[in-house]
Structure 1
Amino acid sequence: MIDAALRAGLAAFDDAALATLANPGLVRRAHRDVEDGKLRLVSAGAGTAAVEADGQLVTLDVRGPRAADCACKSVAICRHRIAAVLFLQGLEEIATVAEGAAPALSGSEDILAALDLTALERWSGKASWRAALELVATVRQVEPSANAISVVFADLDDPVRILRGQGFDGIVSKAVKARVKAYHAAAVLAAHHHFGVVLPEPVEDEALPAEVDIDIAFLHRVAASLGEVATLGFNLAPLPLEESLFELSVSSRADSLPRLSTMLRAIAAQLRLRRQRALAFDSDRMLELTATAFVLTRALASIEPQRRAGLTGKVRRDFAPAAPLTLVGCGGERWRTDTGARGVTAWFVEPETGRWLSTTLARGAGQDPAFAPAEAWRAQSMWQSEPLAVLAHARVVLEQSRLSADDRLSAPASARAVIVTRDVRPDPAWPGVVRDWKDLREAWLRQTGLGLDASDGAVACLVSPSTVGLPYFDDLAQQLVWPVRDTVGEWLALTLDHEEPVATAIEALEAHVRSGWEGMVLVRLVRAGEALEARPITLFGAGDPVDLSLWRRPYTYGRQQPGDAVRNWLERLRKSGARRFIRRPRGGTEAALAAAWRQLLDRAEIGPALAQSIDGRSTGGLAAHADRLDNHGLPALADLMRHVRDASTLLVAAYGLLVARQQRCGAPLLR
């Protein structure tokens, strides 16, 4: 007689869970063994059973096949253990219980009842917990069923399965050992969030001490792995190197190094994309990350412990209590990432200082299918007040809020916004309003920083054009280009990519901007290599403000097919007769920096065996690039290029070029 505890414990191990523990072929073979009568029940006790499977004795308990003992002594999950589970599930007593007591699909939330998030944090450990909070954003789908919850991640080939009654240790996946706790914790977080639970934020006592004690040997090991990335990562992208980087990022010795841990995971993700030959792989991004992480390890190893806290970073984003803030909303945008996350972001400015702050409503991929960013923008109350559609165009006093170091506002239950004035428009006299496009670089640098101090996030600013041109569509870049001129006659390209949800923004811009339009524009600045990209977010003209990506068409097109509206405005833009501009070529210094960067990237991509073949070329070798940098007044960078011999010197040179390119990152000017 099989008791109820064992029946309940084994019910969660369906074919999908068993295949995750082993492989589908082994599960099929185990089914054949059961069908051929090769199993028999030897004994059954309280929560245990002994089964003879094809001559091998298997002892099972409520933990299932992973914790079972088999006489064959196989290290992996063998077919005897799988067959024993299938055999016990097929007994008449278990079948009867399953038919009468199987939970309904709507009861899948009960699976999470015993998986407390506080206990999950203790189980995963600090480093894996940080990784889990990051990995939640890569979830593509959460699929509940009667006895399990399946969570699909972008970077895992097979889903993570949370099994009913098996606890944290009973979660199954194909994740390698180094990734298990991070991905399993992220799966539980994503499942809780799927059922409406707010994900936890780090508390203030997670701040690192003033003097950070670091294992120098660990830093040397990290530096060696980063050197392997420069040597092999761009060329072969071996799986062991990817796993090694992830393992280092969640090591207990990385507990005090959250910034370095995050970088290592980002590099590991790029390695995976490179090995898969995915279009999303960004070689420039990987070299930037690797060079910055390498220099960070050197800096942490060389400075005094009391000065390390500024380099170690924060545990996720550290939101601290903020003093009451007087803010003016300047618009917002709807967005969607490549992984499927979507949301809306509102931008606010402090009129007295010109400081920009933002807040976001978002959901990860596969989370809360009912969440519609545009509807949340218009209907979901924020800070015990009005929706963002109202707050983002009002003067408000915000109290009891929490603010991160990169000026992002969170929405704790205690936060309260009092609307002072509705329908406020930005004032051209505010500090930080840009009228001369050469000031855009300073506005961007002021909010992002350089090198180890740089942040990757987008920044906002208000621009006040003196004249605007008609927008036109760039067929080669697949972008809408809106030329706007500053007070000294320079033309700037404000661009929108042709993709959802930006297609709405293109249609809105085409509908509102005509020759002679006057006003101000909220733009978002993002660095793309050695140049900035400027995207218009909100228009402030003679009428009401227009949040481009959140605009709602005030009329319909009748019975037209989907896509007709896009084709119609594309055709109108191409026939508008608008002046076609061309991008202004970069200056000599910027071109020399870009060419030197490309040389280092080529050297990494070609691999160590052939690297020397491109180093000594008379026109494109390291010495030639060094001479060119010298001629442009950059002797320090030239010296770094001349000393490139191995992975470490390559990464140091790449970091120097990265900082120089950031410093000279200019606005996209037209002529």
Structure 2
Amino acid sequence: MTRSDLLALTPDTLASLANRGLVKRADKDLAAGAGPVVTVGDDGTVHGTFPDGTETALPPGRGLDAADCTCAAAAICRHRIGLVLAYQRGAPDEAPAADEPLVVWSPGEFDDDALAAALGRASLTAAHRIRARGYTARVHRPTADDPAPRVELPTCTVRFPVPHELGYALTDAAAALRGEVITLAVWAFRAADAERATEVSVGGRTPVRTAAAAEALGAAVALADEVLLDGVRQAGPVFAGSLRRVGRALADTSQHWPAGAVADLRDQLAAYTARATRYTPERLAHLLAELHARQRAAGHDPAGVLGTAETPVTPLRRVRLVALGCRIGGTAGDRTAETYFAHADAGIVLVLRTRWELAEDQAPTGHDLSARRLLGSPLHTLATANVVSEHTARAADRTVTLSRGRIAATSITPVGSAWTELPESLLLRDTAAHLRAAAERPPRLIRPRVEADAVRVVMVDSVEGIGYDPAAQRLEAVLRDPAGNGVHLHAEYNPVCPGGLDALAAALADPGIRAVSGMLGRARGRSVLDPLAVLTAGGVTVPDLAPGAGDTGLGTAAGPPADPITAALEAALTALADTAHQGLRHLTPATRTALTDSAARLRRTGLDVAARHLDDLTRTLHDRGAPAAAPHWVTAHIHLTTSLDLHQEDGW
């Protein structure tokens, strides 16, 4: 009996199941002649007897963690790894050929009895509790470049590297959660196979999950309406306290996405009060519309629209992260650093947030912050490093916390060539194909609030047209990926990082440029990248941490081509944002005129439905007053925002 499951275990898979050190040690033992004597029983069990007397058995249908070994190791040991390697080397004719056809299969094939047998009834019971509340997932089916099916759950990822086998499933979640998350991943594949989809919501499909949840969401929407009716000037400390209480109620009822919107709304109102530049009427209006949109869509897909009821933070087992750069921000009173990491095994990007309070006489630049130490290393080192950590926890929004813990539990080494070794889900050679697949996502207003979801590394064949747009204070260039697609790079000037654009321009002009990391999306029908870092033959450049005063002369970039549809939609959204800023009860004549003019402009552009929504708003304001007009404002904003997003993605 040939054990195809053992033959399918690659060194990388074995390292993920245990660690790379054990695989190397087992390989050295075999090379030194200290490997086991291998026999195979009639039932397919592989037995191994080692020179030190240790006996190991690998029964079929069970993973390495459930194998039998007489050594004292509590987890996967070098004997189990060594027996797998010895079995593979003893059956060279049975080993899969390099050009063997791709095995297309789905983990959804396992029924609940198989799950219980492989993972235990306790894991199945725990997973049932989560499914009753509902959860979201994104499935990735086998491809030639990535033959292992995998599932992105809200707080971890599960991979199935061995076809038709549950015992070798890999997850970055802590060992205590392994059975539970593998079960959830299998159920996600079942749902995806039934719906022929890649993003699914599993379970929890009740119109209102609990009375407390409905009450909390209703209270959040009511507070949003208060802002819409009376404007930001009326939102004082008492209102901020109400927002804080509602945010806690939303989080307590596992409505994490509306809770995030409420937290951002509080931040916008605080920024307005402090006259901070991070306040914008457009952002305020977007948050008000988002809360309404999530309430309207909650009955269709509560888990996807409101958030899942899983544990907010999940501890991870030993993980390897590849830094992709850093983004610096802040106000007069603080500075923030968002450091982005590729989690290669999970095929996703995580973000580490850091915030520093500033004294009145402090105004550090990004370069000044680059020397501050995180996890024992300067920020500029961490932002260009490989990090291996045993003290990691991941939240549903893909923020991550790292700590050094005990000695050697976290190691930080230079990133080297790790960017070019990332999986195809993160390292893009064909940006157009990636963005076509991403277009299946739900509208932005009701999408899960996931940090770093758009961050990718784009391979670069050439760079064209580097220049500076002084009107927009933006550096622009066109990157060509290996598939020949043009990717428009846009980098806004950041006053906290004055040398950033100069450093970026120099890196883009480097003949040894290899790749650029950043937020990838669509705008004006084009692929657009907001860069975080640049990989050249000389290493990684992080513009936000670069020195300099921003006084280098840069060539001028041509302005973007005119687009009447985008201009009409943006002008209408600006008018709606000014309306929310002032409050429907306190509109100036100029703002009322802007609403009327925007409707006329939309109609001239051929966007009759959008124009009718603005007409309904102005007519109701005139005839019935502000409270009756509020729902029309919400409908208009949702329609215009979604129309603009679709127009930007589809092109013109």
Question: Which TM class, normalised by the smaller chain length?
Answer: 0.5 to 0.7
Task: Determine if the alignment matches structure 1 residue 585 to structure 2 residue 579.
Answer: no
Partner of 2:321: 327
Q: Which amino acid aligns with 1:229?
A: V
Alpha carbons of structure 1 residues 497 and 525: separation in structure 2 relative to 1, 3 Å: farther
What is the correspondence of 1:417-496 to structure 2 with a 5 Å cutoff?
Answer: 417=410, 423-427=416-420, 430-431=423-424, 432-435=426-429, 438=432, 450-455=444-449, 457=451, 459-469=454-464, 471-486=466-481, 488=484, 490=486, 492-496=488-492
Report if aligned partners of 1:250, 1:261 keep a CA contact under 8 Å in 2. no
Tell me if structure 2 keeps the 8 A contact 1:319–1:404: yes
Cα–Cα, structure 1 residues 424 and 253, in superposed 2: closer, same or farther, change >3 Å? closer
State the match for 1:132 in structure 2.
Answer: none
Which residue number corresponds to residue 282 of structure 2?
A: 284
Distance 1:215 1:352 in 2: 35
* Structure 2 residue aligned with 1:504: 499
Partner residue, 2:335: 342
Q: How far 1:290 moved relative to its partner? A: 0.8
CA change 1:220–1:271 in 2 (3 A) is same
- 2:534 paired residue among 534, 539, 544: 539
Query: In the aligned structure 2, how far is the partner of 1:536 from the partner of 1:617?
Result: 35
2: CA distance between counterparts of 1:509 and 1:326? 27
Distance 1:346 1:248 in 2: 29
Q: 2:573 aligns with which of 583, 594, 597?
A: 597
Residue 396 to residue 286, structure 1, CA distance change in 2 (3 Å): closer
TM-score, structure 2 as length reference: 0.53
Measure the CA separation in 2 of the matches of 1:611 and 1:552.
46
Q: 2:396 aligns with which of 394, 405, 409?
A: 405
Map 1:603-614 onto structure 2 (within 5 A): 603-604=579-580, 605=582, 607-608=584-585
The higher radius of gyration belongs to: 1
Amino acid at match of 1:250: R
Secondary structure class of the residue paired with 1:288:
helix
1:359 paired with 2:363, answer: no
User: Displacement, 1:451?
Assistant: 1.8
Alpha-carbon shift at residue 392 of structure 1 (Å) = 4.9
Residues 1:642 and 1:462: Cα distance change in structure 2 (over 3 Å): same
Counterpart of 1:238 in structure 2 is: 234
Report deviation, 1:599: 4.4
Please give the per-residue CA displacement for 1:411-444, whole angstroms capped at 9, x wherever unaligned.
Answer: 1455834579862342288414345565675687
Partner of 2:632: 649
Counterparts of 1:413 and 1:334, CA distance in 2: 22
Q: 1:367 & 1:313 partners in 2: Cα distance?
A: 39
Maintained 8 Å contact 2:281/2:578: no
Q: CA deviation at 1:654?
A: 1.1
Q: Distance in 1 between matches of 2:337 and 2:242?
A: 34
| CA–CA distance in structure 1, aligned partners of residues 598 and 365 of structure 2 | 52
Instruction: Provide the alpha-carbon RMSD of the alignment.
Output: 5.0
Aligned amino acid, residue 230 of structure 1: L
Counterpart-to-counterpart distance in 2, 1:336 and 1:614: 32
SS at structure 2 position matched to 1:358: strand
Structure 1 stretch displaced more, 659-668 or 281-290? 659-668
The Cα shift of 1:549 comes to 3.0
Change (3 A) 1:268 1:543: closer
- After superposition, the Cα gap between the structure-2 partners of 1:271 and 1:528, relative to the gap in structure 1 and judged at 3 Å, is farther
Match of 1:651, as an amino acid?
V
Counterpart residue number, 1:295? 293
C-alpha offsets along residues 519-542 of structure 1, whole Å, 9 cap, x if unaligned?
211224589999997433322122
SS in 2 for 1:659: helix
Displacement of 1:647 = 0.5
- Tell me if structure 2 keeps the 8 A contact 1:532–1:668: no
User: Partners of 2:312 and 2:575 in 1: how far apart?
Assistant: 38
| Contact kept? 2:464, 2:478, Cα under 8 Å | yes
- How far off is 1:547 after superposition? 2.5
Q: CA deviation at 1:592?
A: 4.3
Identity %: 19
CA contact (8 A) 1:212 1:308 kept: no
Whole-Å separation in 2 of the counterparts to 1:316 and 1:286: 29
Partner of 1:522: 517
Distance 2:217 2:429 in 1: 46
Residue 660 of structure 1: how far off its partner (Å):
3.5
Q: Take 1:250 and 1:343, find their aligned partners in 2: how far apart are those partners?
A: 25
Cα distance, 1:410 vs. partner?
0.6
1-side partners of 2:268 and 2:413: how far apart?
47
CA distance in 2, matches of 1:522, 1:652: 36
**Paired position in structure 1 for 2:113:** none
| Structure 2: runs of 5 or more not aligned | 1-176, 178-202, 621-628
Residues 389 and 411 in structure 2, CA contact (< 8 A), matched pair in contact too = yes
- 1:545-567 deviation per Cα after TM superposition (whole angstroms, max 9, x unaligned): 223333468xxxxxxxxxxx543
* CA 214–521 in structure 1, closer or farther in 2 if over 3 Å, else same: same
Contact 1:593 1:657 in 2 (8 A): yes
The one-letter code matched in structure 2 to 1:505 is: G
Deviations 1:431-477 (A, max 9, x none): 14345565675687789972222437454221233322464333322
CA contact (8 A) 1:595 1:625 kept: no
Letter in 1 for 2:501: I
Q: Decide whether aligned partners of structure 1 residues 474 and 593 sit closer, same or farther in structure 2, where only a CA change above 3 A counts.
A: closer
Query: Does the aligned pair in 1 maintain the 2:352–2:399 contact within 8 Å?
Result: yes
Question: Which deviates more from structure 2 when the two are superposed, residues 504-513 or residues 418-427?
Answer: 418-427
Do the aligned partners of 1:230 and 1:651 also contact (CA within 8 Å) in 2? no
The answer to whether the 8 Å contact 2:388/2:412 transfers is yes
Query: Residue type of the partner of 1:405?
Result: A
Q: 1:351 to 1:627 in 2, by over 3 A?
A: same
Corresponding residue number in structure 1 for 2:89: none
Q: Would the aligned equivalents of 1:232 and 1:238 in 2 still touch at CA under 8 Å?
A: yes
Does structure 2 retain, via aligned residues, the 8 Å contact 1:479–1:497?
A: yes
1:658 aligns with 2:630: no
- Cα offset for 1:506? 2.7
Letter in 2 for 1:658: T
Q: TM-score normalized by structure 1?
A: 0.51
2:156 maps to what in 1? none
CA–CA distance in structure 2, aligned partners of residues 592 and 370 of structure 1: 39
1:188-203 matches, cutoff 5 A: none
Asked whether the 8 Å contact 1:319–1:403 carries over to 2, the reply is yes
User: Secondary structure at the residue paired with 2:402?
Assistant: coil
**How far is 1:584 from its partner?**
3.2
Distance verdict in 2 for CA 1:292–1:402, change over 3 Å: same
**Contact 2:500 2:547 (C-alpha < 8 Å) held by counterparts:** no
Count how many residue pairs are aligned between Structure 1 and Structure 2: 428
Aligned equivalent of 2:211, options 210, 213, 224: 213
Of 219, 225, 244, 1:227 maps to: 225
Asked if the contact 2:469–2:558 (Cα under 8 Å) also holds between the matched residues in 1, the reply is no
The one-letter amino acid of 1:404's match is A
Q: Offset at 1:320?
A: 0.9
Where 1:327 maps in the other structure, the secondary structure is strand
Deviation by residue 1:103-133 (Cα, 9 ceiling, x = unmatched) = xxxxxxxxxxxxxxxxxxxxxxxxxxxxxxx
Residues 1:425 and 1:298: Cα distance change in structure 2 (over 3 Å): closer
Displacement of 1:335? 1.3
